[in-house]
Chains A and B, each alone.
Chain A
Amino acid sequence: MGQGKSQFTEDELQDYEDLTYFTKKEVLYAHQKFKALAPEKVGHNKNAKLPMAKILQYPELRVNPFRDRICKVFSSSNDGDCTFEDFLDMMSVFSESAPKGVKAEHAFRIFDFDGDDMIGVSDLREVIERLCGAELKLSDSEIQQLVQNVLEEADLDDDGALSFAEFEHIIDKSSDFCHSFRIRL
C-alpha cells in the first residue's frame, strides 16, 4: 500500500475490502487498532488470536454492557477470543455503512443470551439489568413489568418470546437503532 510496513498483501486487502463495509485504508486502520491491543502478538502474526480480555480493552467495548456477548457473537471459535478477521467483521458490522438488516441480525444474536434463537423472558431481563448498570437496580417487579410491556409491544404471535422476524420488525420501526448501534473506527 505504499507504506512499506504493511503486513498485508494487496490481494488480502482487496479481499477484506470486498468482504466488509470498509475501504482498504480503513482495513489497515482497523488493523492498527487491533495491533494496539497487543502489539507483540500481532506483530508476529497479523491474524493472531487474542483472548477476550484483551479485546475488551478496546475503549468502546470496555464500557459496553454487552461486551462479552459482542465478543462471543463475533468470535469464530465461539468462546470470545477473536482473531483479526473476527475483529474486522465486528467493526464492519458496527460501521456506519453497514445496512440495517446486518446490524439487526447481529444485535439479535447479541441480545439472545441463551442462544435459543428467540429473545425470551430471561434474555430480556438480562438486557434490562445490563442496561441499568451495576449500581442502579430496578426491583424485580419493575423488571417483570418492563419485560411484559416489551412483549406486549413486539410479540405479535403471543408466544412469550421474540423471534428474529419480530425483532427485525421493531428495528425497522426504530429510527434511533441505526444511530446507536454503531462504533466509530
Chain B
Amino acid sequence: MSGGNSKNKSRSKRHEGWEEAGGEFYQELYPGGEQELFDNLQRADAAKLATLLPSKQARNKNLSNEERTWEEIMQIKAMPNATKLRLQGFEQLQWRQRKIWHRFRSRCGEIMGKLELWQSSLREIEGKFGTGVVAYFLFLRWLFFLNMAISSFVILFLILPKVLLVENLEECIDENSTICCSEAYFTRNWTRNNVILDLIQGTGLMERTILFYGVYSAQIYSFFINSWETELFYNMPMAYILVPISWALLSLVAIVKTGAKGFKERLVENEGQFYVYCNLVFGGWDFCIHNEKSAKIKHKAIYNEFKGLLEEERIKEEKQLRTKESNILMHLRRLLVNILVLVILLLSGVLIYFAFNHSMYWLDEQMAQENEFVNRTEGKVFLGDYRESAFSIGRFQNTLLEFLPFLCIVVLNIIVPEIFGFLIKYENYTPARVIVITLLRTVLLRLSAFAVLLSQIYIQVTNPNRVFCAVFTDESRLDCWETYVGQQLYKLILTDFALQFFMTFIINFPRSLVARHSNSTCLKVIGTQGFYLPKHVLDIVYVQTIIWMGAFFCPFLPIIGTIFTFLIFYVKKFACLVNSTPSPIVYKASKSKSLFMSVLLLGFIISIAPVAYSVAEIMPSVNCGPFRGFNTVWEYVVVTFESFPKFIREVIFLLGTSTFAVPAFAVLLFLLYYYCAVAAANRHMVTVLKNQLVLEGHDKQFLLNRLSAFIRQHQKRCDRRNRASFADDDSIQNSSR
C-alpha cells in the first residue's frame, strides 16, 4: 500500500516540479501549443519520453501497431460470429474480382517478361559488366525493333504489292518516251558475272530484283474484284514516296520519345538531390541473385561502380586544385590534340576521295574498253562468251576496285578511333567527358567519309553532259542512278558487317585467348581488351545511318538491316562476354541512354538530309523507278495533290499561307514562353524548398538537443525528488513507529 501511496505522491510532486522547471523554457520557445506537449511530458515518465524522439517514434509505433492489430484480429476471430465479419455477398465478389485481376496482371507481366527477347543474355551481361553496358544492349534491341517496324512498312506497302500485282505492259512507240527508255534499260543484257560477286555487289542479276529502286513500277496498279464488281487501285509511286515519309516520321518520333524519357530521368536525378551513392549502397544488391558465380560478378560490379564514382570525384577535386600554369599547359595540350584530330580527319577524307576517284577511273576505263569492243563486233550475242574468256582475271580485280572505297572507309573507321582513343589520354577529361568527346570525333570521321562518298556520286549524277535515256547510250553505271546509290550503300553495309564479324571472331577472339592463356606481360598487353562502349555504339549507329540513307534507294535495306542488327547482337555479345574483360570504366545507365539517343538523332538527321535533298531537287532516272519522267520526285506529289478535290486543296493550301502560319507561329511561341516560365518558377521553388528543408533539419536538431537536455534534467530532478520522498516516507514510517 505504501508503495502505491508514494507513487501518487511522487507524481503530484513531479507535477509541481514540471511546473517550475519546464514552464519558462517552453514558454519562451513555443508561444502556442505547448500545453499539449507539456501534458504529455507530465504524464509520461522518462523512458517513455525518449520515444518522442523522431527516429524512435516511427518504428516503435509501427511495431506496436502490428502487435496490437494482430491481437485485435485474434480477438475478432475468437468471437462466435466471426465468419459474418468477412466481406459478404457482392462486396466479397468484388474483392475477389479485384484480387483475380491483380493476379492476372502480374501473371501477364511475368509471361511478357519471359517472351522478351534476349532476356537471359541481358542478365548475364548485366551480371558481368553492369547496367551501363546493358543499356547499350537494350539500345541494340530497341534498334532491332525499330528496324523491324520499318521493314514491316516496306514489306507491306512496297514489296508485297510489287510481287503480287501484275503490271500492264505498254508498247514503246515514241523513241524519246520514258516507256522506251525503260524498255531499253530493262531489256539490256546485264553484265554477266559470277553469281556470288553479283550477290555482294548488287550488280548484274541483283540489279533488276526488288532489292533496288529501279524495278519498282511507275504505274497505278488496278485490279478488278469479281465478287465485289469493283476496281481497286494501288498507286505505286505514291506508296513509294509515302512509305519513306512514314518510316522517317516513325523513327523520329521513336527517337525523340525514348530520348525524352531518358532526358527526363536524368533531369530528375540531377534536379533532385544526388542520390547516386545512396542508390548504390542501399539498392545495389540484387536480392534475386541465387548462384555463387553471379554473386561474385555482382560483387565485382558493385566494387567497380564504387571505384568509378570515387574516380569521378577525384578528377573533380584535381580540377579545383590545378594551378594556373598547369591549367594553361593542359589547355595547350588539348589544343594540340584537337589540331591533330582535325588533320587526321582531313587526311582520311582525302584518302577516301582518292580511293573513290581511282576506282571510278579504272572502272570507267574498263567499261569504255568493253563497250568499244562490243560496238566493234556489233554482236551482243557474243558478249557473254567474250567476257567469259577475256576478262576472267580482270573480274576479281574489278570487284576489288568496286569495293576499294568501302574497304578504305571501313578500315579507317577501325584504325582512326584507336588513334583517337590513344590521343585522348593526354587530355585529362572526366570519364563521362571522354566518352562524349571520343564519340563526337568518331562521328565526325564517319560522316566525313559519307560526305566524300556522296559528293562524288552527286557530281556524277548531276553531270549536265550525261545522257539520260538508255536508248541513246551504251551501258553505263548511271543508267539508273538511284539503283547505283542503293548499290553503293548496300556494299557499304555488307563491308561493314563483314569487317565487324571478322574483327570480332578472327582478330579479337584469338587476342583474348592469348591474353587468357599466356603469362608474359607483353602478350597480355596485346591481348587484353576492354568493352569500349563509344566504339560499339558508333558501330551500330553507323549501320542504322546507312539503313536510313539507303532505304529510299534500296527498299530491301531495312530488312537486311533487321537481320544484321539481330546478328550483331550476338556478335557484340560475343565481343562483350568472351573477348573483353570487364572494363575499369563504369558506364552509367541513365547517362549513356540519353547519349545513345542523341548520337542516333544526329545520325538520323545527317542521313535523312541528303535523301530529302535528292527527293526534292535531283531529277530521278528516266529509265527506271516509280518516278520516271518527272523532274523531281516531289513533283509527283504535287501533281497528285492537284488532282485532289478543290476543297481539300484549298484547305491544305491555306495551311501553307501566312494567314495560317503567322498565328500558328505566334501561338507556338506563346506556349513555349508559358512552359519556360513554369519551368523557371518550378526551379525556383525547388531551391527554396531545398533551403527550407535544410533549415528544418537544423531546427529539428536544435530541438532534439534541447529535448534530450530537458529529459536529462528532468530525470535528475525526479531522482532527487524520489530520493527525497523515500526519505520522507522513511521519516514518516520512523515517526509512526
What is the interface of chain A, defined by CB distance below 8 A to chain B?
15, 18-19, 23, 59-60, 62-66, 94, 96-97, 105, 107-108, 111, 117-118, 124, 127-128, 131-133, 135-136, 138, 142, 145-146, 149-150, 153-154, 156-159, 163-165, 167, 170-171, 173-174, 176-177, 180-184
Say yes or no: is B281 at the interface (Cβ < 8 Å to chain A): yes
What residues of A have a CB within 8 angstroms of the CB of B275 in the complex?
153-154, 170, 173-174
* Chain A contact surface mostly: helix
Residues of B within 8 A of A171 (CB): 282-283
* 3 nearest A-B residue pairs (beta carbon): A133-B299, A157-B697, A63-B295
A66 and B693 contact, CB distance less than 8 A: no
A149 engages B313 (CB within 8 Å): yes
- A100 → chain B closest CB, angstroms: 12
Q: Does A117 contact B285, Cβ atoms closer than 8 Å?
A: no
Beta-carbon contact of B693 and A142 below 8 Å: no
Q: How far is the CB of B696 from chain A (nearest CB, A)?
A: 8
Q: In the complex the two chains form, what is the Cα distance from A133 to B299 in whole Å?
A: 6
* Total count of chain B residues near the partner, CB < 8 A: 52
* A117 and B57 alpha carbons, distance in the complex (Å): 10
Between A and B, how many residue pairs show CB distances below 8 Å? 145
Please indicate the chain B residues that have their CB under 8 angstroms from the CB of A63 in the complex.
289-292, 294-295
CA distance A153 to B58 in the complex (A): 21
What are 12 inter-chain pairs, A to B, with CB distance below 8 A? A19-B70, A59-B291, A64-B287, A107-B282, A108-B59, A111-B282, A124-B281, A131-B302, A133-B303, A149-B309, A158-B701, A180-B287
Chain A residues, CB < 8 A from B102: 97
Interface centre among B274, B277, B278, B701 (most CB of A within 10 A): B278
Distance, CA A142 to CA B313, complexed state (A): 11
Q: Give which listed residue, B285, B294, B698, contacts A66 with CB less than 8 A.
A: B285
Q: How far is the CB of B281 from chain A (nearest CB, A)?
A: 6
| A150 and B281 contact, Cβ closer than 8 Å, known pairs A133-B303, A164-B59 | yes
Q: Are B299 and A132 in contact (CB under 8 A)?
A: yes
Chain A residues in 8 Å Cβ range of B56:
117
Per-position 1/0 for B269-280, Cβ under 8 A of A: 000111111110
Q: How far is the CB of B457 from chain A (nearest CB, A)?
A: 48
Q: Decide: A132 and B306 in contact? CB cutoff 8 A.
A: yes
Instruction: Name the residue in A66, A105, A157, A158 with the highest tally of chain B Cβ atoms < 10 Å from its Cβ.
Output: A157
Contact B303 A157 (CB under 8 A): no
Assess whether B284 is in contact with A131, with CB atoms less than 8 Å apart.
yes
Question: Which residues of chain B are near A163, meaning CB under 8 Å?
Answer: 54-55, 58
Q: Are B283 and A153 in contact (CB under 8 A)?
A: no
B310 close to chain A: CB less than 8 A: yes
Q: Is the interface of B mostly helix, strand, loop or mixed?
A: helix
**B106 an interface residue at 8 Å Cβ cutoff?**
yes
Given A63-B290, A64-B287, A135-B299, 11 more A-B residue pairs with CB atoms under 8 Å apart are A60-B290, A63-B294, A117-B56, A127-B281, A131-B284, A132-B302, A132-B303, A164-B58, A174-B283, A180-B287, A183-B287
The answer to whether B279 and A174 have CB atoms under 8 Å apart is: yes
Chain A contacts for B310, CB-based, 8 A = 142, 145-146
B286 interface residue per 8 A CB criterion: yes
Query: At the interface, yes or no: B163 with Cβ under 8 Å from chain A?
Result: no
Whether A156 and B694, one on each chain, are in contact in the complex, defined by CB atoms closer than 8 angstroms, is: yes
Q: Verify if B716 is at the interface (C-beta below 8 Å from A).
A: no
Q: Say yes or no for B700: interface residue by CB 8 A criterion.
A: yes
- Please indicate which of the listed interface residues B55, B274, B701 has the most CB atoms of chain A within 10 Å of its own CB: B55
User: What residues on B are CB-neighbors of A182 within 8 Å?
Assistant: 287-288
Q: Does B524 contact A (CB under 8 A)?
A: no
Neighbouring B residues of A167 by C-beta, 8 Å: 282
Once the chains bind, are B278 and A165 in contact (CB under 8 Å)?
Answer: no
Q: Output the least CB separation between B108 and chain A (Å).
A: 13
A118 vs B59: C-alpha distance when bound (angstroms): 11
Are A136 and B300 within 8 A (Cβ)? yes
**B277 CB contacts on chain A under 8 angstroms:** 146, 149-150, 153
Q: Which residues of A contact B227 (CB under 8 A)?
A: none
- A142 → chain B closest CB, angstroms: 6
Residues of A within 8 A of B303 (CB): 131-133, 136, 138
Q: Decide yes or no: A180 and B55 within 8 Å by CB, A63-B292, A131-B299 being known contacts.
A: no
Would you give the 0/1 interface string for B684-719, flagging 1 where the beta carbon is closer than 8 Å to chain A? 000000000110011011001000000000000000
